[in-house]
Amino acid sequence: MLNSINKDHITGALVGVGVCAVGYYAYKKNQEKVDNFLRNQGINIANENCKDYAAMSLEELMETKEAIEDFIAEKEMIVNDMPNEACAE
């Protein structure tokens, strides 16, 4: 079987890998537009933010909880700082 592989097979495989890499790069660069287009066509695209919390381990749930608490604290700091800046103007 290895004797039947020639230069054309290897060239074809390398071209295929290159085309896949370019396609993946183009998709990632325009991911939001492509996903919105597919959703408009009726194709359900999973959102990266959607997580199956029931399938997560306790450790993963605790990490997620801590991250959410950090985001809440940051937002509260921003909201609490805004009136002070508005009064200074």
What does the pLDDT look like over 13-66, one tens digit per residue? 999 999 999 999 999 999 989 989 998 999 887 776 667 888 889 998 999 999
- What is the longest distance spanned by two Cα atoms in the chain? 80
Look at residue 74 and give its three-state secondary structure: helix
Structural domain boundaries of the chain? 1-49, 51-89
pTM of structure: 0.46
The reported pLDDT for the residue numbered 83 is: 62
Task: Please give the pLDDT value at position 81.
Answer: 84
Classify residue 70 as left (phi > 0), alpha (psi -120 to 50) or beta.
alpha
